[in-house]
Structure 1
Amino acid sequence: GYDRIRDAFRSKSEIAYQGAVQRLDNKRTHLKQNPKPADNAVVPEFKRMPPAVWIGPSALTIPCPVTDMEQLSNRLSKVFSDYPELFNHCVKVYQKRVDYYRLTSEGQKILQPDTVFHITARASIKTDGNEVKTEYYRLHVGGINDLPSEDALIGELHRFAEYMQQKNRAKAVEDLYIGPVLYEDDAAMELLAEKIADYSHSYWISIRNQSDRKHRYLGKQVFPPALSVCQLGNDSVYNGVKLLGYRQVDADGTKPKTLPIIEKGILKHMLTGRTPSLGCPASTGNEHFDGLSRTLETRYTAGVFRVTSNRPVPYSKLYKRFLKAAKKAGLEHTYIIRKNRTSPYALIRVDLSTGKEELVEGNYNSPSREQFKRMHAISKEENVYNLDPAGGKGLGIISPKAILLEDMELDITPSRARHIDEAFYELRH
């Protein structure tokens, strides 16, 4: 009832106020005992934002019926009946639709919708050594109408199941490899997203009572000289793909900036929301609601990035250059790290005498900062990714399909899987 809702609202507000006062007192006491460094002390902890009104269209008006999702899940899950080696498999289809309402004493009045439509699949397989390996397929778009065709989804799940079978038969590799490595698809994207996140925003480190001081990288080369990174603030669609991370305004009603972050390898700008930092004193429109969660908190989140090069290479030419570099180094084989929805963790060994690609099994390390900066080339072809903001890598990235690092050191070790009791396996199977 209305009265009970109002009473609960009053009670929750009182608890929130009392908690805030207590935290503020604790903070003041802490700062008296541990004053901030002089350069940090001049930066306000947050800025008052100008009044703004932005009322978006509700996300709740276009639901996908539960029966449609259930039927789609049932049809897709039938794929795994063709693969008796796989067990513990399932397909989940679900949607999240949220309207964020925000009314502040500063004059922000915001209604911001957000939607996401997920398809996830999981399957396990038992190795000859009585170990169990589990892999996951993940796809998320804005709504059911943004999905690929059902035939395309079924084809992807077949390829996912076949990949699991191939990986189960793959040879385990232990190798200290030094030479060129080609990163493809999701592997290229993840490499770039992680490196961009290292420099695009500055954080306060409570335990040290100071900023992380990343602002000192401004004006310095942090990326390979051929690479540039820009945050896109104006584009809702790129090459026909809907950008889920596009926001007309952020949670403060500030328009996200289209801004060069890195130009020819040099850090030019940093991003922030309403919390200024030494490297970014004013909001760049990056204060976002906390990623389709049950809270109404806001925080800094990177937007949609696009990575470009002043000399991109067609993928076919990049692949030939990759093989040529490996042969020139006198190697017998080289490696491709290839990830996508249908093959989540594929380590490919290429026989340089025959050119044959072989899926092998092993763990490998990520490139160091210096190895990444010695990047040789990226592909002209691009992939568009809508990212999960909970991962800390932003809301999306337009990434080259492939990246060639010529001077890599891969310490490849055998993968570890969990053992399973045979009786339990029989029950699950």
Structure 2
Amino acid sequence: MPLTDTACRNAKPREDGKPAKLSDGAGLFLLVNTVGKYWRLAYRFGGKQKTLALGVYPGVSLKEVRERRDEARKLLDSGVDPGEARKAQKAAGTLNAANSFEAIAREWHAKYLPTWTEGHADRIMRRFEVDVFPWMGGRPVANIDAPSLLAVLRRIEGRGAVDTAHRAMQSVGQVFRYAIATGRAERNPAADLVGALAPVIKQSFATITDPRGVAELLRAIDGYQGTFPVQCALKLAPLVFVRPGELRQAEWAEIDLDAATWVIPAERMKMREKHIVPLSDQAAAILRELHPLTGRGRYVFPGARTNGRPMSENTVNAALRRLGFDKDTMTGHGFRHMASTLLNEQGWNRDAIERQMAHGERNQIRATYNYAEYLPERRRMMQAWANYLGTLKEGGKVVPFRRSA
């Protein structure tokens, strides 16, 4: 039943001293403890349970808090996390101008947050906070011109971070387009800076593709003397060749060992598409051996200090360094390039390889269905690839594992 003002006024903590929760419906409840009475809204966003503070009773009346609840629900319906919107509003409120670049950038960031992975969203905001906000965050967005923006980008470029400067310019341009769309700016100065920064010299992730080098790497991994979960991650990386973040954040709930399948949900994929990883016999064996140690927790590869978080993003690279492979020789991401290069050389279907690499499908309608595309061939390919790596490691005669294999 909905709350009444009388019920709120007479509410008391439980007899055992613990807080009492009085529900009003649609996630709204009054939390009553020995200190006071607090309005809270429980909601789910991005698959996570969250709580939003809506004020203190009786300062915020029952009628007023229902209005706040309804406003928060409208944000949820439009795909905006009300908690993140609250943070953005508080941050913007501390700025001198309501239309400052920082205020609008944070508003833009909160709006698009549901469409990004957590890591991508964090990198964008970190880039703003370190490289952009200190020098132009407090300026009204309509007063920022191309020369002043270029001066900010030159600071980044000047320390040798050319790629970061280009990424910052791209994000700044998106903020200006948002400001134009919402009537707070008329021009996008980033558009006038095309060609003003030094070009990015693209470098591939360090990898090993020579079969003899691959064999040495695999044997070195077998001799790794660090923790067992890290050794398992090293062994699994070349067999599944997913992105390092997808590997370290793997969850047991995603893996069906009986079906030899690992299904990574869309929210954890770079391209925001569900991805199927067929598990070879060798990959499944590694996971079965690890399961007694970490299988009761959420993560396949938990962190060293707590099983409530996945292993650090630097763990695999640090392990490779410990094995004697420097950053110019091999990286965690290099396992993907290794597999792509050798699979293509061995004549496997390029489309099947691209699907297994989880490279994005730009046709969004087709992307909805293609996560299982080429799956039978991908299963054969993954098993043949694992057999090939095993033969390399053992130093035996390597038979090309073409599609006919």
Q: TM-score, normalised by structure 2?
A: 0.26
Of structures 1 and 2, the larger Rg is shown by 2
Task: Name the one with the larger helix percent.
Answer: 2
Task: Name the one with the larger strand percent.
Answer: 1
Q: Which has the higher contact order (CA 8 A, sep 6+)?
A: 1
